[in-house]
C-alpha cells in the first residue's frame, strides 16, 4: 500500500467549485491541514492529481 501525506499549501478561494469539492472529499479542511491517503485507489489518485497545484505531497 502506497500512502502519501497531502497538505494544502495554496488557497481554494477563487478556484472552481469542483476543485473545492475535491479538497473536501480528500479530507482537507483548511490551509496547512494534512491528511493521509492511499494512492492504490485510482479514484483517490485522480483526485490528488486534479488539485496537485494546491497541495504538497509527501510519501510516508
pLDDT (0 to 100) of residue 1: 72
Q: Which residue has the higher pLDDT, 1 or 31?
A: 31
pLDDT (0 to 100) of residue 52: 96
CATH of 3-59, one of 2.60.120.260, 3.40.190.10, 3.40.390.10, 3.30.1390.20: 3.30.1390.20
Distances (CA, A) of 33 to 1, 26, 42, 55: 22, 11, 23, 10
Domain boundaries, given as residue ranges, for the chain: 3-59
pLDDT (0 to 100) of residue 28: 94
Reading the block at residue 22, the C-alpha cell is 475535491
Looking at beta carbons, which pairs linking 18-27 to residues 24 or more positions away fall under 8 Å? 19/50, 19/51, 19/54, 22/47, 22/50, 22/51, 23/51, 23/54, 26/51
For 37-52, the pLDDT digits (tens) are: 999 999 999 999 999 9
For 1-25, the pLDDT digits (tens) are: 789 999 999 999 999 999 999 999 9
Amino acid at each position: 500500500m502506497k500512502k502519501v501525506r497531502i497538505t494544502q499549501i495554496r488557497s481554494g478561494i477563487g478556484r472552481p467549485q469542483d476543485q473545492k469539492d475535491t479538497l473536501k472529499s480528500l479530507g482537507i479542511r483548511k490551509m496547512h491541514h494534512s491528511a493521509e491517503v492511499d494512492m492504490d485507489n485510482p479514484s483517490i489518485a485522480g483526485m490528488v492529481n486534479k488539485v496537485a497545484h494546491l497541495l504538497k505531497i509527501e510519501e510516508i
